[in-house]
Chains A and B, each alone.
Chain A
Amino acid sequence: MANIATYEKGSTQLLMGNEAIARGALEAGIGFATAYPGNPSSEIIGSLAEVAKDAGIYVEWSINEKVALEAAAAAAFAGVRSIVAMKHNGLNVVLDYLMGLALTGTRAGIVLVTCDDPGALSSTEEEDSRMVAKWACLPLLEPGTFQEEKDMTRWAYELSEELKSVVLIRGVTRTSHARGDVEVGERIPPLRQAKFEPSNPLEFTSMPAPFKHLVANQKMDKARDLFESSPFNWYQGPDKPDLLIVTSGSGWFYSLEAVKALDLEKSVGILKLGTTWPLPEKLVRQHLSKAEEVLVVEEIDPFLEGNLKELVGEDPSAVGPVKFYGKRSGHIPIAGEINPDIVTAALARILDIEHRPVQPQYSQKALALTAQFTHGRMVGFCAGCPHRATFWSIKNAIKLDGRGGFVSGDIGCYSMAVGPAGYWQIKTMQAMGSGTGMACGFGRLAEFGLTQSVIAVCGDSTFYHATIPAIISGIYNRANFTLLVLDNSATAMTGFQPHPGTGRSATGEQAPVVDIPTLCRALGVRVEETDPFDLAGTTDKLLDLMREEGGVRVLVVKRECALVRARREKPAYQMRIDEERCLGESCGCSRTCSRVFQCPALMWDAQRGVAAIDDVLCAGCGVCADICPAGAIIRETA
């Protein structure tokens, strides 16, 4: 079947924004692609990994974003065009290296794609990556259409080489994780003449820093000039609009629809900017001077808004009086995702147009008819998920330990244990590996009176990404905690990508395994291993580790992700309820299976007063048989 490497030049394809970026990179002749997975960015490198052989390129999942950027920069230094992709959290991880790279510059083109997640649809926080462009002196591109995702990426390599600078491309969920029709261009093969050959001893360093900082600013001046004539900036609307919308990225489509919805094509103009740092100042001033009122539509922070105001402030006479609306004025929300309805409401409010939500009577009737049934759907662990079993054991071990123990956690599917899915067991959650770093602190508080048991959890991919330094710090500083590595043999949350523990590379080849228990033992700590589906055994081992005072102890809880396993294997067990044994409400278990354990396949049959199993959802893991006090859940080998 055709793929992003083999699509014919000139053909139109339905591409995910992330795939369009990947295709653009292939059309630019990249040779080297790296990333650590993170939504909404994962499919950029994921789709390149799938076609690496067809395209003749190298693709890797690096252990974290910083290593990914460093490896990609090395390729660019040696003359091989490279791409590195990450989500906004990843940009935080690479900052230390990126600031140095920004001063250093590059030889071959290098593009860093960062995908933000307004509304935190698949994230634990929301933040605006664009600030980094201004901070680090890097050119910033924001695609507004699917075609631009591809075209801008291809052009970014020319820009990168002309400026000798990393180029940032910023996506958001609704540009990256959306699909649209894209006409593809010609793909060129990567150059195969890699050589690392500095033209002077300091070429590939950030030294001397003040000089290189000056050069970086000069590159911005050059970028500004180039952006003045960029086809990625355009204006649509009347010559002299009553109101000018200035927008970028996802805001383009939303603005277009809002103007149409209110029938304002003749009075409202849209300046759509694709090159948002540095701003093409002449172009922007020219449009600002034609309008007295400006609405800025962007996600997430008022980045464009602030930069426009700065530009006006430098020489107010060049633009004339102008009033700004946007996030600062409260017309567009300062947090969360925006959409066409929000932009329409903002426009209507500014222009004092009566804007009624569509058919209010219908809306009221619809809510009246459906509200009693549309119960919320909490995200939770899948049927058969090892994490549910693990947190069940953690909860029980903490209770048996009796010292008010608690869990510090971090980012992965298991993050859902901050809520009912994992019995509210995770009590801190901030960043990759932070559960263990937190435990280094909590585990040193005994001298200040802390008597609680300290438990940290991390996933397998997170272990490699950011946990190892925290473990070593904990060992060195004699912190007192137990770390559970929840090893489900995949980077599950982001799409089951392989990692150094899986024995598979990004492109499907066999890879060396860095074994987690072996590595931890080599660090000199006590390591136990357990199967989370063995509830009693896991609880006992955890309890034993918790009771061993002093130092770092590790319990590796290993069981493959249920979704990965289901691709290969049939369920292990056929589960059923023995209705004779299920005592229902008179049991005293308070419906432990359906109400507390929270497997989506376990249900309460209210009419018959017994538990029930949904055969469509049940993954046949068999764990629930061990939680029923009446022994009414029967596990039969399938």
Chain B
Amino acid sequence: MEKEPLNIIITGVGGQGNVLLSHLVGKVLVRGGFHATIGETYGASQRGGAVMSHLRVSRKMQYGPLIGEGHADVIVGLEPLETLRVIAQYGNPDVAVITNSRPVFPQAVSSGGARYPTRDEVAATLKGLSNRSWVVDATDIALELGPPILANIVMMGTLVGSGLLPLGAEPFEAELRESLPAERLAMNLEAFRRGMAEVA
């Protein structure tokens, strides 16, 4: 791991499984012997608001739950507009970004009062503001395999597959095997592996 600490922001819209995703990643890192701290947005934001988890990983010490502006190393977005919002505040030229392509329209867009960026606009904007970037059709993959919420496990696969974390796939698959009931395991493992393949 080059960065000390490694600052990861996972963002999306309330209800997309943001908290679960950050918790899973953090848990695997702690088991792998790292210090991990997660600051989460909860509460009212769960009801369709913008949500964000700050995950800080270190070999040396425990860090606080909030990442300073401009100090994200990795941004994982479950929703493209939220990815743009986070990169504008926490990004820097060295940041790596992975975003799901599927929009959840804010009210201004769904009521016809504003325009949502196209997939190409999202990709170009992220490219211009980052060192590396990926746009992944995580919700579409999720819907091929099961419920749309599975997109968060697809995104976990992209994060691990990108090599931006100091751990490989095996401990993440082990965590899924341990924490999921048998009937949901195969679907989640498949989602994780499809995510990894997207960034390979």
- Whether B43 contacts A40 by the Cβ 8 Å rule is yes
Given contacts A174-B66, A595-B111, 18 further A-B contacts (CB under 8 A): A1-B179, A14-B36, A122-B42, A122-B45, A146-B62, A147-B62, A179-B38, A181-B34, A362-B91, A370-B84, A373-B117, A374-B84, A375-B108, A379-B45, A591-B111, A598-B107, A600-B48, A617-B104
Which A-chain residue is minimally distant from B180 (CB atoms)?
A: A1
Asked if A341 lies at the interface with its beta carbon under 8 angstroms from chain B, I say: yes
A301 CB, min distance to chain B CBs, angstroms: 20
Q: Which residues in chain B, 131-180, are within 8 Å of chain A measured between CB atoms?
A: 139, 143, 148, 178-179
Q: With a CB–CB cut-off of 8 A, which chain A residues contact B92?
A: 358-359, 362
Which residues from A are CB-within-8-Å of B44?
121-122, 379, 416, 493
A13-B30, A178-B38 known; A420 vs B69 contact (CB < 8 Å): no
Contact A380 B48 (CB under 8 A): yes
CB within 8 Å of A: which of B12-58? 13-15, 23, 26-27, 29-30, 34-45, 47-50
Partner of A382, one of B48, B71, B105, B143: B48
A351-388 vs B, CB cutoff 8 Å, 1 = contact: the mask equals 00000011100110111011101111111111000000
Q: Can you name the residue of chain B whose Cβ is closest to the Cβ of A339?
A: B66
Question: Is the pair B125, A178 in contact by a Cβ cutoff of 8 Å?
Answer: no
Q: Are B69 and A606 in contact (CB under 8 A)?
A: no
Q: Residue-by-residue, is B92-135 near A (CB-CB < 8 Å gives 1, otherwise 0)? A: 11000000001011111111111111000100010011000000
By beta carbon, the residue of chain B nearest A254 is B64
Question: Are B45 and A121 in contact (CB-based, < 8 A)?
Answer: yes
A625 at the interface (CB under 8 A from B): no
By beta carbon, the residue of chain B nearest A260 is B63
A358 and B112 contacting across the interface, CB-CB below 8 Å: no
Q: Hey, which chain A residues are within 8 Å of B93, CB to CB?
A: 359, 362
A502: min CB distance to chain B, Å:
20
Q: B70 touching A603 by the CB < 8 A rule?
A: no
Q: How large is the interface on B (under 10, 10 to 19, 20 to 34, 35 or more residues)?
A: 35 or more
Inter-subunit contact A40/B42 (CB<8 Å) = yes
A175 to B64, CA, bound (A): 9
Contacts of B71 in A (CB 8 A): 358
Q: Which of A178, A257, A261, A369 contacts B39 (CB 8 A)?
A: A178
Docked Cα-Cα span, A519 to B66, in Å, equals 47
User: Which of A40, A179, A339, A591 has the largest number of chain B CB atoms within 10 A?
Assistant: A179
Report the separation of the CA atoms of residues A39 and B30 in the bound assembly, to the nearest whole angstrom: 26
- Count of A-B contacts judged by CB separation below 8 Å: 197
Chain B residues contacting A1 (CB-CB under 8 Å) are 178-179
Give the residue of B13, B42, B68 whose beta carbon is less than 8 angstroms from that of A344.
Answer: B68
Set of chain A residues within 8 Å of B88, measured between Cβ atoms: 363, 366-367, 369-371, 374
The yes or no answer to B87 lying at the interface (CB within 8 A) is yes
Given contacts A145-B62, A253-B63, contact A358 B106 (CB under 8 A): no
B114 contacts across to A, CB distance below 8 A: 375
In order of increasing CB-CB distance, the 8 nearest A-B pairs are A122-B43, A253-B64, A358-B70, A604-B112, A178-B65, A595-B111, A379-B49, A179-B38
- Please, which residues of chain B bring their CB within 8 A of the CB of A359? 70, 92-93
Complex contacts, A371 vs chain B, CB 8 Å:
88
| Chain B residue at smallest Cβ distance from A147 | B62
Interface pair A180/B38, CB less than 8 Å apart? yes
Chain A residues with Cβ below 8 Å from B40 are 177-179
CB-defined contacts of A598 to chain B, threshold 8 Å: 107, 111
- Taking the nearest CB of chain A, how far is it from the CB of B8, in angstroms? 13
Complex A-B: 8 CB contacts under 8 Å = A14-B26, A180-B65, A341-B69, A366-B91, A370-B125, A594-B112, A616-B148, A617-B104
| Cβ–Cβ < 8 Å partners of A382 in chain B | 15, 47-48
In whole Å, how far is B187's beta carbon from the nearest beta carbon of chain A?
Answer: 17
Question: B10 an interface residue at 8 Å Cβ cutoff?
Answer: no
Bound-state Cα–Cα, A584 to B168, Å:
51
Min CB distance B118 to A, Å, is 10
A600 to B111 alpha-carbon distance, docked (Å): 10
Task: Contacts A362-B93, A366-B91, A370-B84 given; indicate if A180 touches B107 (C-beta within 8 A).
Answer: no
Contact string against B for A residues 503-526, beta-carbon threshold 8 Å, 1 for contact and 0 otherwise: 000000000000000000000000
Instruction: Evaluate whether A179 and B23 lie within 8 angstroms (CB atoms) in the complex, with A257-B63, A604-B111 already known.
Output: yes
Chain B residues near A166: list those with CB within 8 A: none
- B81 at the A/B interface (Cβ < 8 Å)? yes
CB distance from B145 to the nearest CB of A (A): 14
User: Measured between alpha carbons, how far is A617 from B139 in the docked complex, in Å?
Assistant: 12
A237 within 8 A of B: no
Is the pair A379, B47 in contact by a Cβ cutoff of 8 Å?
Answer: yes
Chain A min CB distance to B73 (Å):
13
A39 contacts B48, CB within 8 Å? no
* A340 is an interface residue with CB less than 8 A from chain B: yes
For A591, list chain B residues within 8 Å (CB): 111-112
Minimum CB–CB distance for B69 against chain A, Å:
6
| Max chain A C-beta neighbours (<10 A), residue from B13, B42, B63, B125 | B42
Question: Which residues from chain B contact A376 at a C-beta distance below 8 Å?
Answer: 106, 108
Q: Decide yes or no whether A186 CB sits under 8 A from chain B.
A: no
A413 at the B interface (CB under 8 A): yes
| A4 interface residue per 8 A CB criterion | no
- A123 vs B37: C-alpha distance when bound (angstroms): 24
B59: Cβ under 8 A from any A Cβ: no
Q: Which residues of A contact B121 (CB under 8 A)?
A: 373
In the bound complex, residues from chain A placing their C-beta under 8 Å from that of B35 are 180-181
Q: A257-B64, A374-B85, A413-B47 are in contact. Are A181 and B30 (CB under 8 A)?
A: yes
Interface residues in A248-279 by Cβ distance below 8 A to B read 250, 252-254, 256-257, 261
Q: Does A451 contact B (CB under 8 A)?
A: no
- Closest-by-CB residue of A relative to B44 is A379
Contacts A1-B178, A358-B92, A370-B125; A181 near B62 (Cβ below 8 A) = yes
Closest Cβ neighbor of B151 among chain A residues: A616
